[in-house]
Structure 1
Amino acid sequence: RVLLNVEFVELIRFDIHFLQPPKREMKRTASSSSIGSNKKIDKREKQSRFQRVKNENDDCNSTISRHANALGEMNEVFTRDNSSYIFFIPGTNVISSLQEINKMIYKEKESLITLYKLEFIESRLFPLVLLNNCLEDCAQKEILRLCVELLTRMTKIYSSDKNLKDLPFMKINSAYKELFILNPSVIRKIHNMLQWHLNLANRGNEDKKFIHLLLLTCRNLLAIKDSPGSGNLTVNEKLKTHFDLIVQFYNENLIELFTTMASDKDDVLWHTLIFEIFYHILEHNGPEDLFIDSKMEASSKGFKLMEQVKRRQEEIRKKFSKVCPKIWMDTKKGYEKPVDIRQAWEGIPKFDLMGLRGKVDNEHEILAETVNKRKRIVLDDQIRKCIKLTSLKIIKSSAFEVLINTIQKEINAKIDKHDINKHISHYLYLVDYTLKFRIRLISESSSSSLKDEVLLSSVNEISDVSQVRPAVTIETFEWMFSLLVKREAHENSGQILRYAFKCLKNMLSTIKQVTLIESNRETVFSILKYIYDNEVYADRILDHLKDIENLAFKEQEALISVVHSYLEVLDHYEGMIQIFNNGLQKKFVSDEIINNYCKVLEGYRKLDDEELKCIVEFFYRIWYKYDLEGMFYKITIMYLFNRILDDLGYRQGLTLAQHELLSFILNISNKLLNELPKKPLLYVELFYPKNSEDCHLLQQGYDFEG
């Protein structure tokens, strides 16, 4: 039967194959000769297209060169003593040539490269700007307006993302920024033009447009990224040009003019641009950099390191001298002889000590090792002074108050726009910077470490909350906490969240600080009560704490800081009203929160002292304030503590925060070791999470009732 079935199947296959129609070969619709001709046509088209583009570029370059030459030319005059003077002779059709170049830049982006090769700014624009001094003359005013418009277009800001097509233009912009620093007379002329237009009683639309172009030029220069594509340079080397430009702006009184314009409540037309200017001035440095002399700090660290090495050497000498005063050493003659350990030791650390002393003596080398590797911003005395006084002017004048109110209204009006995130991040950064500068200035003056007489005389003025009132109102706190609501990821969302944490932290610190002033007590008390009574705010912070693994490390650091400030403000309010119920604070005491704190603590080497101190104080809060040291009796936590102890316990030159962390680890470890013999069940409890009730049972005995 099987054989028959096989034969039947084979027969069916044969019949099906026989019934299929024969396959026909497909004929080519095009011959090989026609294909070859198409290839030739494509090649010819590519060549002609390339030639056409090249011809268009050549025509464009020649047109730009012709219009640039029509603006004027440089001539040289020789004197009797064989010296010479170089001067600029303007052309006859300056206005029309400037207009044509403006149109070409607007249409063709590549024309910027041609203008850069022609040295257009330094050989044409700068001379025209400096020669036309009479703004009352309509022709000269139009020439200056067109020149400033060209400067605005030629210093256009490009995004800092990895777009290789924009890299040549970013390098050109960086070169233009250096040109302005080398020509302070041009910056002085910008100040004079801006001052002249602001002094006009009746400004028309053209005057307002002129002011807008001048502010755009200043904003663009400050926003230009220095040394793009140069990865070998340190942060301080890249920012040198930027800080030099700030000094030039300050010396030519441009920053003073910006502050005056920002203080005008009636004329809010340019407040957004001025806000961006202040942001870019303060963008690359923190308030702590203004009060620290990095060179002195590095030098003192070097000398402390030398003292520690010497102390360590002396301890080892004493130890070995008592244990084994004689050792055997190989000699060049091939036999061994006993030598005193103190004589042998002198040759061992000698070279290291000499190298260390050389590093300490050489300021540049110690700076490179202790500052640049940590990406610290090093500011010299002149730059620190300029930025200090700029920050002080922003607070003392009504500029900060007016700008904050204006930007808040603009953000609320454009909250649904796609580019609003940039304004939000700039707002948060500037508010955070200003509040932090104010807090640091007051603390420096109280510690008698502030020596600047100008800053000392201004401390009383900025101590009052009225100087920064718009940043610490109930409405501002409500808006700030609304930024903590979890949303879908979008552009700059991480940056906004980090800035929101930092800004909220300094807002809370400011509120706590100004409660010491009697004149502010009622206003501040109402704000503190509002924060204390809103449980939603605590829940929003807790949501981020529970989801801390999904945050970047910088966001984690900022979150730890804001939690510390928030809990301190709650404690401060309870102290004011003399009620200690620890309502909202108890929400932060849980096994999940402690575990997340420990996850952040795993990166203790990267944590700054401020964040490390916040973590240690949070741990002490759980231990001493709530008497819940049992929350740390967990095998994973103790393993982390042991790893930190093995690392930091033998390291020299620990910071104060690291010493506090080690002290806490030793205290909690000794506490556990003392409890283990008395309560053997602790060995089992080490493997399980615990809540506050479990800890009370564990610490007070399992017969605990209540």
Structure 2
Amino acid sequence: MSDPGSPQTQNGSVDRELQANITNLVSALGGPDLTLPTKAYVLGHDALMCLRDLKIWLRVVDEKRRLLDVARAISETSLVTQDLLEILSQWDQAEEEKEINGVQDEPGSAAAAASAKAFRIALGCLELLVPLTWPIKLDSESTDSQFYHAPALNQVYLRYKDAVLSHYSNRIFRAVIRLCLPALQSEPGKRSSRDEGILKLAVYFIRNILCINLKDARTIVAEDISRSFEISVLAKQSVLDFIVMIASGGGDLFVNQNAAIMECVYYLLYGLKIHQVLDVTADFKVSASVKAHQDLKDLLVSEKAIKRSVQRKMPSRHNRFGTMLSVSTADNDRLTVSGQPALLDSEATLGNLDSVKKWKKCQRVDVTNTQQWDIDIMLSEESRQSLKQFVNDFLESAYNPLFISIRKVLEREMGEYSKTLLQEHEVQFLYLAAWFLRAERARNVVLNDKHSQDRTPDMDFSMVAGTLNQNMFIIIMHAMRTSFENKEWHIVYAAMLCFKEVIYTVNDMEAKGVEEMREMAENIKSRLFYEEYSLDLLSKIPKTAHARDISYLNLAVELTHIVLKTLERYSTDKNAIYIGAKRRRQRQKKKRQNQSEEDGVIPDDGVQESDSEVEREKAAKKVVERKFNFQVFESKFLSEETLNSYIKYLGNYKELNKTQLMYAIKFFHRIFARRKLHYFFYRLDLMKLFSEIVGTGSSSSSQLLLSIDRETRTEITNFVRYYVHKLIPALEKTPSLFVEILFQKSQSDFFYFEHGFDKPAPEPRTAKAKPGLVFADDAFAAELENKFAIVVAALIDDEKGDLVEWVIDALNQVYQRRASWIQLSAATPEAGDSPLPPDERKFFLTRSSLLLDRDTN
């Protein structure tokens, strides 16, 4: 074989000698016997050695040298699509016939040896299938060979998946699961490393087949490997039950397969909506036959509105003759518009000219984030029923064990480079946690509708209790904060999605749960919104959402709506809410600098502290509790960036449903009507958007208002009317606003428009003098002796009798000094000229200042 580092290999082509060796091994493995009527597959004489040689080739060349030459050479053969699959299916069929006939091989017999050899051959096939279907991920450290072969192998993977799912025997996954039976029959603590390896191979093979991307299909018919077909095959071959079984033993019976099983569940449910799986609608109402007619009715109403808007511009039989209007501009350019309506309305003519103009802003493509969240996947009724049973079984037996075990791993490896979980596993964990929290809420709706017709029974959320604790909240906020700082937006999206579903679940627990769940919900709310940095992060998310894609923007707006609504209700129900905030570091830093100066050490900001000092500083940090003010928190959303996000969000009004429309209208009402920040919304782009949504006059009403329900239409129309009602007087009062609506405005501009003058500069803070003592009864306190009596009594009542005793001792010392000075002055007449003893004034002032300091403390 040629050296893989040769020039020929570097150019991307596979070495001919390598290709010949791989082809010879595949040919020696076996093939169909054309002399038999069934053309059954017959193994070669050294089939087991051929499988081992192929595995060695993959390990030595592709794995150790970071190449894909062997995988590319194998893709040119029929090893995966025919040989390996035939061997597995025939072995599984033979083992099944033995079970049906009750045949048991005696230990030490030739049949037992043949059976053991067949098992090793089938296991060798699985050992080859796993690396040959392993996902290819390219990064900065990938070699030229990997970059060259990856596109072709991704196409080959589609053929592999189609061959596995469409195999005529329908036994490929059953054979893989049968290979795991000896390992499953042994006790968890007594499993050998070989048994653990077989289980991991089986789970990884299922993961590899599920994660092959169908969007890359070019030559294969999409229906052949659609999600519905895939789920149907997995259900018929008991793969879904196998996944539930492995996941239910997560952390106890199965430890090394947790991450791979989570990947299987993720690729199985990715992109699916809850109402596609369970018997509910998108807004969690139990679906029924009446609902189908209601959906048809809504579609007919929407179609009627579209036809009405189109017919308004359609030509009649009297104006079918061609008409063309040409307009000459000042720079001798000529603009042409066709159609007779251009002759009747000049505004329509200009609008027609503007409609044909196309200008697209250059957008930066994020090549590191290829995740697509909002995708449409169609499911057949058979696959939907299979997936519904899988989701119910997973929630009842596997959700808590699997997610608790993975959560513990994330806790141990938080903030560090993980050896067991990758960054993509964190995204999958958050996404699946949100998906199943939403599914549990939908299941409760279905169960309550079936078991209760007259009343709404209490809901139970114990099936998802593993992700409703403080440790889970720490993981969510840590992922959201670190990914937001690092601009890893796909992780931010998953964390926002999980946090939103947690809030929805807690609200349902508080409103519809049992008494124990209600108490738990109140405790969860106090923990969710306790950290101040979490609240600050939630207010920063909508500021950057306008620069992201539409899926991220929709989720950010919905999260902002539910957070503001929940916090407002929670702060209203409670008399006082306290949040934890870090103590200001300025005083601590100044204190450390003063201490270092006293010790004679000059601090060096460029030198980092040692690990022990960092740990000591972290341990010394204290959290102070501050009273939560919802108005202050709400003010953090008052920024031009946040408003830009909402304007972009509402600009997609044709694709938004009535609930999503109300998210934007309620936010506008919160700021514009309730907070009275009118000038904040006086922007030309927002005015234009309202004009497009509402329309001008009943004859040209907007298509949106005709396609939504009356309540939502009334809310939107009323807000726009209120907006215009406030805008007209503002324009009359401040004519300069006609120019200001074209530009962004700062906080000082808002104050000027509201009051007519600039905001005064804040006065410098001065130390306030402490008020003196005030006696309630001036008549009684007229004498000095009574004042002393009142002060002494007050100190004793405040349990400060030690101060009184200290004053008495100090006065006795002063008295003794004065008496000794009098005696001394009588004995020495020269000292009589001094009115006070030499050190008495200094002593008295010093001790009195100490007395005042102790009293104030």
Question: Same fold, TM exceeding 0.5?
Answer: yes
* Mapped partners of 2:452, 2:209: distance in 1: 32
Shift of 1:473: 1.4
Query: What's the CA shift string for 1:447-504, capped at 9, x where partnerless?
Result: x6xxxx8x999xx9994222112222122223322233266876x8110011111111
The equivalent residue for 1:586 is 634
* Mapped partners of 2:179, 2:9: distance in 1: 46
Is the contact made by 1:514 and 1:524 (CA closer than 8 Å) also made in structure 2? Answer: yes
The equivalent residue for 2:474 is 478
Paired amino acid for 2:212: I
* Mapped partners of 2:441, 2:752: distance in 1: 40
Shift of 1:308: 4.2
The equivalent residue for 1:206 is 194
Is the contact made by 1:511 and 1:524 (CA closer than 8 Å) also made in structure 2? Answer: yes
Paired amino acid for 1:379: L
Paired amino acid for 2:431: Y
Is the contact made by 2:404 and 2:466 (CA closer than 8 Å) also made in structure 1? Answer: yes
* Mapped partners of 1:120, 1:655: distance in 2: 56
Is the contact made by 1:425 and 1:496 (CA closer than 8 Å) also made in structure 2? Answer: yes
* Mapped partners of 2:312, 2:546: distance in 1: 44
* Counterparts in 2 of 1:596 and 1:384: CA distance versus 1, 3 Å: same
The equivalent residue for 2:205 is 217
**Structure (1 or 2) with the greater helix fraction:** 1
Verify: 1:176 aligned to 2:167, yes or no.
no
Is the contact made by 2:272 and 2:377 (CA closer than 8 Å) also made in structure 1? Answer: yes
Shift of 1:618: 1.6
The equivalent residue for 1:144 is 122
Paired amino acid for 1:400: Y
State the SS of the aligned residue for 2:39. Answer: strand
Is the contact made by 1:514 and 1:520 (CA closer than 8 Å) also made in structure 2? Answer: yes
Alignment coverage as a number of residue pairs: 587
* Mapped partners of 2:481, 2:13: distance in 1: 57
* Mapped partners of 2:748, 2:476: distance in 1: 32
State the SS of the aligned residue for 1:89. Answer: strand
Is the contact made by 2:543 and 2:645 (CA closer than 8 Å) also made in structure 1? Answer: no
TM alignment of 1:536-551, pairs within 5 A: 536-551=533-548
* Mapped partners of 1:128, 1:261: distance in 2: 26
Verify: 1:668 aligned to 2:720, yes or no.
yes
The equivalent residue for 1:512 is 507
The equivalent residue for 2:364 is none
Paired amino acid for 2:690: F
Paired amino acid for 1:280: Y
The equivalent residue for 1:595 is 643
The equivalent residue for 1:4 is none
The equivalent residue for 1:386 is 386
Tell which deviates more after alignment, 380-389 or 631-640.
631-640
Is the contact made by 1:105 and 1:112 (CA closer than 8 Å) also made in structure 2? Answer: yes
Shift of 1:282: 0.8
The equivalent residue for 2:30 is 72
* Mapped partners of 1:655, 1:385: distance in 2: 32
Verify: 1:105 aligned to 2:92, yes or no.
no
Is the contact made by 1:633 and 1:672 (CA closer than 8 Å) also made in structure 2? Answer: no
Query: What's the CA shift string for 1:273-332, capped at 9, x where partnerless?
Result: 111111111113232433569998986565335544777899999xx9xxxxxx97999x
Shift of 1:555: 2.5
State the SS of the aligned residue for 1:73. Answer: strand
Larger Cα-atom Rg: 2
Is the contact made by 1:557 and 1:607 (CA closer than 8 Å) also made in structure 2? Answer: no
The equivalent residue for 1:404 is 403
Shift of 1:625: 4.9
* Counterparts in 2 of 1:214 and 1:525: CA distance versus 1, 3 Å: same
* Mapped partners of 2:672, 2:494: distance in 1: 31
Verify: 1:255 aligned to 2:240, yes or no.
yes
Query: What's the CA shift string for 1:175-222, capped at 9, x where partnerless?
Result: 010111112211222222234421223422111111111111111110
Which of 657, 663, 667 is residue 614 of structure 1 equivalent to? 663
Is the contact made by 1:502 and 1:561 (CA closer than 8 Å) also made in structure 2? Answer: no
* Counterparts in 2 of 1:432 and 1:649: CA distance versus 1, 3 Å: farther
Shift of 1:255: 1.2
Is the contact made by 1:438 and 1:462 (CA closer than 8 Å) also made in structure 2? Answer: no
* Mapped partners of 1:622, 1:54: distance in 2: 60
Paired amino acid for 1:616: I
Query: What's the CA shift string for 1:564-605, capped at 9, x where partnerless?
Result: 121222134235436797445533463546623444336324
Is the contact made by 1:67 and 1:97 (CA closer than 8 Å) also made in structure 2? Answer: yes
Paired amino acid for 2:20: S
Shift of 1:50: 5.7
* Mapped partners of 1:528, 1:546: distance in 2: 24
State the SS of the aligned residue for 1:619. Answer: helix
Is the contact made by 1:570 and 1:585 (CA closer than 8 Å) also made in structure 2? Answer: no
Is the contact made by 2:306 and 2:703 (CA closer than 8 Å) also made in structure 1? Answer: no
Query: What's the CA shift string for 1:54-94, capped at 9, x where partnerless?
Result: 9993333332233223322311456xxxxx32212222222
* Counterparts in 2 of 1:698 and 1:238: CA distance versus 1, 3 Å: farther
* Mapped partners of 1:178, 1:121: distance in 2: 11
The equivalent residue for 1:226 is 214
* Counterparts in 2 of 1:388 and 1:300: CA distance versus 1, 3 Å: farther
Is the contact made by 1:222 and 1:280 (CA closer than 8 Å) also made in structure 2? Answer: yes
* Mapped partners of 1:539, 1:51: distance in 2: 54
* Mapped partners of 2:748, 2:573: distance in 1: 27
The equivalent residue for 2:652 is 604
Is the contact made by 1:432 and 1:503 (CA closer than 8 Å) also made in structure 2? Answer: yes
Q: Unaligned 5+ residue runs, structure 1?
A: 1-47, 79-83, 321-326, 332-373, 700-706
Paired amino acid for 1:203: R
State the SS of the aligned residue for 2:703. Answer: coil
Which of 430, 433, 436 is residue 435 of structure 2 equivalent to? 433
Is the contact made by 1:155 and 1:173 (CA closer than 8 Å) also made in structure 2? Answer: yes
Is the contact made by 1:279 and 1:426 (CA closer than 8 Å) also made in structure 2? Answer: yes
* Mapped partners of 1:311, 1:590: distance in 2: 39
TM-score by length of structure 2 reads: 0.60
Verify: 1:88 aligned to 2:41, yes or no.
yes
The equivalent residue for 1:269 is 256
Shift of 1:673: 3.1
Query: What's the CA shift string for 1:144-199, capped at 9, x where partnerless?
Result: 22111011122121238995631111111110101111122112222222344212
Tell which deviates more after alignment, 141-150 or 584-593.
584-593
Is the contact made by 2:430 and 2:476 (CA closer than 8 Å) also made in structure 1? Answer: no
Shift of 1:545: 2.9
* Counterparts in 2 of 1:696 and 1:611: CA distance versus 1, 3 Å: farther
Tell which deviates more after alignment, 111-120 or 213-222.
111-120
Is the contact made by 2:692 and 2:702 (CA closer than 8 Å) also made in structure 1? Answer: no
Is the contact made by 1:259 and 1:393 (CA closer than 8 Å) also made in structure 2? Answer: yes
Query: What's the CA shift string for 1:498-545, capped at 9, x where partnerless?
Result: 111111111111111111212212211111122344333221111233
Paired amino acid for 1:469: A
TM-score by length of structure 1 reads: 0.71
State the SS of the aligned residue for 1:485. Answer: helix
* Counterparts in 2 of 1:585 and 1:595: CA distance versus 1, 3 Å: same
* Mapped partners of 2:19, 2:276: distance in 1: 47
User: What value does the CA root-mean-square deviation take over the aligned residues?
Assistant: 4.5
Verify: 1:119 aligned to 2:78, yes or no.
yes
Q: Unaligned 5+ residue runs, structure 2?
A: 1-5, 63-67, 96-104, 106-111, 140-145, 282-286, 322-373, 578-628, 756-857
* Counterparts in 2 of 1:98 and 1:624: CA distance versus 1, 3 Å: same
The equivalent residue for 1:159 is 137
* Mapped partners of 1:557, 1:330: distance in 2: 44
Verify: 1:422 aligned to 2:406, yes or no.
no
State the SS of the aligned residue for 1:376. Answer: coil
* Counterparts in 2 of 1:658 and 1:209: CA distance versus 1, 3 Å: farther
* Mapped partners of 2:541, 2:393: distance in 1: 36
Shift of 1:616: 1.7
State the SS of the aligned residue for 2:41. Answer: strand
